[in-house]
């Protein structure tokens, strides 16, 4: 097949493309605007493959999208392009409305026009796979329930509201126009090549530099953690075997409190990169009045963000039952692989850091010492 992937330079998108190129014979066209979180270095291992190509295109540019469809002639589409960070959506929601809602609308319309002109059997086998988040379901606070595919939507943040909107658009284009769509909603991803504004890479990299490890509120928010390469396998399975019009929840079966995730990272770093061998971090810690004996000393509780959901948890039984997918990685195995990857790839981290990113971190978290 010829697979068009939007947002393929992002964290999850790049994992999907690496999986397709490394484990199948399909061709991929990567469409990405290359915003701050898009990084083509995450695709270095496949970028020279003759079955891979890249087009720098904003999904809000309808004419440019149409040109990509005309040139590449995709058999299927995987839509991952999105603004995806909750904190950024609170600070500046406009970009989330533009990309996640208007961009998805543009993509649906270009795909529909393209699909309508296809002959058989291509028209019957075309798929529009929309990749979304469990955050559209809202908060599971004060309940032991799990998110199922039938859970009502109750988004809390501008980010999750924009993703909920895009989900609704995709379903409407299936119902009204017959466009053959699939939707997946995933839990929190983690793993290699993750942009260091998200919790796990932020904690790893701050710890290695002896900087504060910011934890919102008491750190008792619960998330279900999914290793990104497991997610990539799930998305490919849905694309190739999923039932048109269906939604599939993808989760890691790993509910953890944020504070426990942070402490686990500190413990692994104590083992793999002891502070005794990290003189720069030790010096930074002692300058801040810390002993510099364990990374956990760096934990700093900061003011909680507005509208912070307390718990997310995915029921992924449908995708396992109907499509035979389940995660290969436990949290313990996946988180260790993740820490080791960041230890082994410091140059990747350094190259993606920019002045704008540092300024945003300073604005968002301050010095990490807020009450």
Residue numbers annotated as active site:
134-135, 159
Prior bond to 121 cis, omega within 30?
yes
Contact 8, 17 (CB under 8 A): yes
Query: CA nearest 147: which of 127, 165, 132, 126?
Result: 132
Structure tokens at 182: 């699939």
Distance CA 160, CA 315 (A): 19
Distance CA 38, CA 58 (A): 12
Distance CA 359, CA 10 (A): 21
Q: Which residue has the tokens 């501008």?
A: 158
259: part of which helix (H) or strand (E)?
helix 258-272
Structure tokens at 228: 């990104």
52-58 long-range contacts, Cβ below 8 Å, gap at least 24?
A: 52/17, 52/21, 52/27, 52/28, 53/27, 53/28, 53/29, 54/8, 54/9, 54/29, 54/30, 55/29, 55/30, 55/31, 56/32, 57/31, 57/32, 57/33, 58/33, 58/103
Distance CA 209, CA 278 (A): 8
Residues 6+ positions from 118 with CB-CB distance below 8 Å: 126
Structure tokens at 171: 């379903």
Structure tokens at 84: 């995806």
């Amino acid at each position: 097949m010829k697979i068009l992937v939007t947002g393929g330079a992002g964290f999850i998108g790049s994992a999907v493309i690496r999986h397709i190129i490394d484990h199948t014979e399909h061709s991929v066209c990567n469409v990405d605007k290359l915003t701050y979180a898009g990084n083509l270095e995450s695709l270095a291992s496949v970028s020279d493959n003759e079955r891979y190509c890249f087009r720098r295109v904003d999904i809000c540019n309808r004419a440019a999208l149409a040109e990509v469809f005309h040139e590449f002639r995709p058999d299927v589409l995987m839509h991952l392009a999105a603004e995806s960070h909750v904190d950024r959506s609170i600070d500046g929601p406009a970009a989330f409305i533009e990309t996640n809602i208007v961009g998805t609308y543009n993509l649906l319309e270009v795909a529909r026009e393209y699909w309508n002109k296809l002959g058989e059997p291509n028209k019957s086998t075309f798929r529009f796979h929309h990749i979304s988040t469990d955050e559209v379901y809202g908060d599971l606070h004060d309940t032991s329930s799990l998110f199922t595919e039938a859970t009502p939507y109750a988004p809390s943040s501008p980010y999750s509201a924009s993703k909920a909107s895009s989900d609704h658009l995709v379903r409407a284009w299936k119902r009204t126009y017959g466009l053959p769509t699939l939707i997946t909603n995933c839990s929190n991803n983690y793993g290699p090549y993750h942009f260091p504004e998200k919790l796990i890479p932020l904690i790893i990299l701050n710890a290695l530099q002896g900087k504060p490890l910011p934890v919102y509120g008491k750190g008792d928010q619960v998330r279900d953690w999914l290793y990104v390469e497991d997610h990539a396998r799930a998305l490919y399975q849905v694309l190739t075997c999923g039932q048109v019009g269906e939604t599939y929840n993808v989760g890691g079966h790993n509910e953890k409190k944020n504070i426990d995730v942070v402490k686990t990272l500190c413990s692994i770093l104590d083992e793999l990169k002891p502070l005794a061998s990290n003189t720069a971090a030790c010096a930074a810690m002692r300058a801040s009045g810390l002993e510099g004996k364990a990374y956990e000393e760096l934990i700093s509780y900061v003011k909680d963000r507005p509208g912070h959901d307390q718990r997310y948890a995915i029921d992924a039984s449908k995708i396992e039952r109907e499509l035979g997918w389940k995660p290969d990685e436990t949290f313990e195995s996946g988180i260790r692989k993740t820490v080791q990857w960041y230890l082994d790839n410091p140059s990747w981290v350094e190259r993606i850091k920019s002045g704008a990113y540092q300024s945003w971190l300073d604005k968002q978290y301050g010095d990490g010492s807020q009450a």
